[in-house]
Structure 1
Amino acid sequence: MNKVARMRNNRKVWSIICALLIISLFIPTPYYIFQPGSVEELESKVTVEGGEKNAAGNLYLTTVFSLKASNVYYLAYGYFAPHSDLRKVDEVRGDMTDEEYSKLLDHMMTLSQQYALVAGLRAAGDQVDVQTSGIFVRSVLDTSYAAGKIKIGDVITQVDGHPLQESADFLDYLADKNPGDVVKLVYVRNGKEYTADIQLIELDNGVNTAGVGIVPEDQFKVETERKVDINAADIGGPSAGLMFSLEIFNQMTEVDITKGYEIAGTGTIDLDGNVGQIGGIREKITAVNRKGIDIFFCPADIFPHDSNEKDVLDEVKKEGYDVKVVPVKTLQEAVDYLEKLPPKQ
């Protein structure tokens, strides 16, 4: 082979390699990359009517940075980068589309803020009226005849002409139904009302033998004695509930519970102030350590499958982080802990 032929072959080889490299940029992988996110102070995000914003320390929410590994290069980065975790797409969002997953995260954050508002105000002694107003569709089973008609994010308000205020009403109505029966649902999507006839499927949930095949969640409205503004439009998910409620509580009380400490935390909150498990706890404690936080509240492990407390304590020990981790079961436990602390010197 002469020199000119070899050069041509080399150019062909390099052309093929370049083409493969370019093509690989557009081949998605079935993974998300999770890394430590931001640690954001809450006093500027939460405003309670008549409340005080003169805390000596700060309360912070914590986030996890997530990125879809859209090609093999991102995947390689996620594999080798420190404090990164790769998770399969179906582990993160199941069979939901990106749009459905985004809508669910937005709903979960909105719900988290409402729960935090109720829990925080009640803990400070305010009266709060909570009224259920329909059923939020959290997911739709693939085997359901509602798939393709009812979508995640829809709010069901009636079944066969019967108004629905909460999930219990829905389950009670379906209790006497059989698989194959058809019900007429009225639901709201993006502010517009729709109807759909849905054939019931057989269930094996220990409650009803027949159902629509959705995972319902109560939709509710909250009426309070004072206005509370929470500005967290760029944050999704429910894990900031505990810290939102602590910030609301602190602005309403005469005693500053921060006492000069930098206090971060994570955990869902419900209407009664119970703290629930969250995802990404290892990434969050890493972000907290980088920020130089004094105290980190995390959900306590209560049930056998809970792992937040074990995981965060393991990460602190493994990495040698200098953060005081405080597991709590309720908002009141977090308040009690802070009230007993001496002021920071």
Structure 2
Amino acid sequence: MSSTAIASSSSKHSTRRAVFPFTAIVGQEEMKLALLLNVIDPKIGGVMIMGDRGTGKSTTIRALADVLPEIEVVAGDPFNSHPTDLSLMGDEVKQRVESGEAVETSHKKVAMIDLPLGATEDRVCGTIDIERALSEGVKAFEPGLLAQANRGILYVDEVNLLDDHLVDVLLDSAASGWNTVEREGISIRHPARFVLVGSGNPEEGELRPQLLDRFGLHAEIRTVKDPTLRVEIVEQRSAFDQDPDSFLTSYKTQQDELQQKLISAQNLLPSVTIDHDLKIKISQVCSELDVDGLRGDIVTNRTAKALAALEGRNEVTVDDIRRVIVMALRHRLRKDPLESIDSGYKVQKVFSQVFGLADPEEAMQNGAGQPAGVR
């Protein structure tokens, strides 16, 4: 999700459906932070959001896509190809660029693609028209949802109810950044670099541990209990529904500030560093928690860097790690499909021991596990 050639996302509300502003969302700080960090560094690997019904999961994800800066794409290209970055181009555009041909560009909002539960593999990955390929000698390809989601967000509501095979396909594409379709000896591939966001209600079942592990972060959300906050949420929603244009105008400054903050963070990210001793301690936490593989180590490092970039710093601190390590590791502790996901206490306890903090409960009270969101 490149920050180059940014176009203003000023009020075009009259030409497209009004979306509730991200900066107006009350509470759910862990979910908001997880989404923002994935936008800054899509290589974190997406986020799995589990929580009660009616807690604003879909609203928040759509709001995130709306606040993102517009991207520059090759005009008329079905894959949202980047005009200069070869790794984000479809093969046809890549050949044109490498041959020195000028390509026409345009700007568009970042795509937020909903994947319906009943989607087939062909609908997700795309299909090859074998008959046309054989008769006309061309690779006739009908792009799927993965093509539309390139350089955008792919949202799967109730991902825990999706067929495991389709979840595998999504995770493979999200990890590699490419989608490959093969049929009858014909192979077509295209870029599929997107932020994968899955959501679900734990009462309806969890994903298998092997699949869950491949989501970068795991955010938990709960129904707000504080009556004052609940009233604020209801009033915000009522005000938006009654007069969307006025509501959006009142949050325009905050939305623009957040957009600029994300652009700055994307640009700063390559220069963010993390001390070698901190990397050792992160890996020690993962080892003592018996986390399988190295995804936990990698994601924790990446997420801590993204948080530092979001806050305008080029060096990761212990506090950055403390604020993201629960989201990066809690879902990697579950070995048995029948186990429930750790709320975060176990991760915080080991983190506090390894990093020399006196007491995990004290760490929690000081803000660990309660990431500071953007309001």
TM range (shorter): under 0.3
Output the TM-score relative to the length of structure 2. Answer: 0.21
Structure showing greater radius of gyration is: 1
Greater strand share, structure number:
1
Greater helix share, structure number:
2
